[in-house]
């Protein structure tokens, strides 16, 4: 049976252009970018060219780009560098922002957790003057809801820094670091057709970062360790492709999201979690829905057997039966929480894939409902 992959917020397949650019870089620029001979210099050129392209595509300066192993490391680097005694953060943040903050709370950091409305949008609170850092993501990983990051940046006192996890926005909607007004911003290549194991932390000029690692001088000492030119080039190429095709991709994603919702409505009782179809404050990659009466973990397993890959929340928490903290923060009732599934789309899908997925979902739900009746 053909798999229909609807879990693109967890990760995306590598774009052929990115794969080819990485193969070429590995063959031609395999040296250590820190070596002074010509093999090392070729790797350095490839690395710095990738850094310049990523900077230009995201509205940053090349010296503001630090390559990391992905977004988890980039978010940890930002939080551990910029949080001192008081921080504000939305309750929507990914675990790789929440957990470093919780860890620092045990060491005395005060965290003001900002609430979220029922559509999944953060409600900013007044910022006490001793707050060094505010953490607000750009697009939520579970609902796609776009947060008012630019407005928040403009409202902050000049001494308060803003960290923005833009992982689910970069490559999907326009993101400009300078215009957004963030101090630091995270992106991860594997969320937009690039390779796994590489991301960036953009850091506004003049901001001091405390490295998490020691033992090398690379990347201004911010992130010691040999840089991977092939991974950096793969990320730059994937970002370039995603930005070039963004308008067409967004139109296609809107149509795919609307079609999936329309077809799910035919499957029986279903509730949308997060911004409505056609809303302007949602990345149309994501559709989070609840099927009241069906347990999400059982639904997920049955859908997997039926060849539909989706998720009950962020990839990091899958495997656990705990309901999504994001949906809980939105005030979604318990029954709806326990029956929530996230479908996440890519422009490579066809409307016929969506129709086929919906047909399989309807069959699985009918089977679950009839076996529940037999057992009941």
Question: Any contact of residue 13 with ligand PLP (CB under 6 A)?
Answer: no
Q: Are strands 86-90 and 110-114 parallel, antiparallel or unpaired?
A: parallel
Of all residues in the shown chain, the one whose CB is closest to ligand PLP is 70
Among 43, 65, 70, 234, binds ligand PLP (CB under 6 A): 70
Q: Is 316 one of the annotated active-site residues of the chain?
A: yes
**Alpha carbon distance 32, 46 (integer Å):** 11
Under the binding rule (CB under 6 A), the answer on residue 326 touching ligand PLP is no
CB of 26 to ligand PLP, least distance (A): 21
Within 13 Å, how many C-alpha atoms sit on residue 8's CB side?
28
Q: Does 235 bind ligand PLP (CB under 6 A)?
A: no
Match 């057992």 to its residue by tokens: 375
Identify the residue among 199, 211, 275, 325 touching ligand PLP (CB under 6 A).
199
Sketch the per residue contact string, 89 through 108, with ligand PLP: x for CB under 6 A, - otherwise.
Answer: -----x-x------------
Interaction between residue 312 and ligand PLP (CB under 6 A): no
| 46-85: burial string, b at 16+ Cβ within 10 Å, e else | bbbbbbebbbebbbbbeebbbbbbbbbbbbbbbbbbbbee
Helices (H) and strands (E) in the chain, counts: 12, 12
Q: Is 116 in the site for ligand PLP (CB under 6 A)?
A: no
Dist. CA 311–CA 295, nearest whole Å: 13
Per the DSSP assignment, residues forming a β-bridge with 344 are 7, 286
| Contact flag: residue 22 with ligand PLP (CB under 6 A) | no
Binding mask 126-155 for ligand PLP (x = CB under 6 A): -----------x---x--------------
Of 25, 66, 72, 90, the one binding ligand PLP (CB under 6 A) is 72
Contacts of residue 307, Cβ cutoff 8 Å, sequence gap at least 6: 1, 2, 3, 4, 360
The answer to whether 199 touches 189, Cβ cutoff 8 Å, is yes
Looking only at residues 164 through 193 of this chain, which bind ligand PLP when binding is defined by CB under 6 A? 165, 167-168, 188
Query: What positions carry a catalytic annotation?
Result: 316
Which chain residues interact with ligand PLP by CB under 6 A? 70-72, 94, 96, 137, 141, 165, 167-168, 188, 199, 314-315
């Amino acid at each position: 049976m053909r798999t229909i992959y609807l879990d693109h917020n967890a990760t995306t397949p590598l774009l052929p252009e990115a794969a080819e650019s990485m193969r070429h870089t590995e063959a031609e620029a395999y040296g250590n970018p820190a070596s002074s001979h010509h093999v090392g210099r070729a790797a350095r050129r490839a690395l710095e060219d990738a850094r310049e392209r990523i900077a230009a595509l995201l509205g940053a300066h090349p010296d503001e780009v630090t390559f990391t192993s992905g977004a988890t490391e980039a978010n940890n680097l930002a939080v551990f560098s910029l949080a001192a005694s008081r921080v504000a953060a939305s309750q929507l943040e990914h675990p790789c922002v929440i957990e470093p903050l919780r860890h620092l709370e045990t060491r005395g950091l005060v965290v003001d957790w900002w609430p979220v409305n029922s559509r999944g949008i953060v409600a900013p609170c007044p910022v006490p003057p001793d707050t060094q850092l505010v953490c607000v993501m750009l697009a939520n990983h579970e609902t796609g809801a776009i947060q008012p990051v630019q407005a928040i940046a403009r409202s902050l006192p000049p001494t308060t820094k803003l960290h923005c996890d833009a992982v689910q926005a970069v490559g999907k909607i326009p993101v400009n670091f300078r215009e957004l007004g963030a101090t630091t911003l995270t992106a991860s290549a594997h969320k937009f057709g690039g390779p796994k194991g590489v991301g960036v932390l953009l850091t506004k000029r003049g901001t001091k970062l405390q490295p998490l690692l020691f033992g090398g001088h690379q990347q201004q000492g911010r992130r010691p360790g040999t840089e991977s030119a092939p991974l950096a080039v793969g990320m730059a190429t994937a970002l370039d492709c995603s930005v070039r095709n963004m308008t067409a991709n967004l139109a296609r994603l809107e149509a795919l999201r609307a079609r999936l919702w329309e077809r799910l409505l035919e499957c029986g009782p279903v509730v949308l979690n997060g911004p409505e179809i056609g809303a302007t404050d949602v990345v149309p990659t994501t559709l989070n829905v609840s099927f009241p009466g069906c347990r999400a973990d059982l639904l997920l397993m049955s859908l997997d057997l039926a060849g539909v890959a989706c998720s009950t929340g962020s990839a990091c928490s899958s495997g656990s039966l705990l309901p999504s903290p994001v949906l809980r923060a939105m005030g979604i009732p318990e029954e709806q929480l326990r029956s929530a599934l996230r479908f996440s789309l890519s422009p490579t899908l066809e409307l016929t894939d969506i129709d086929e997925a919906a047909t399989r979902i309807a069959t699985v739900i009918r089977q679950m409902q009839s076996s529940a009746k037999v057992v009941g």
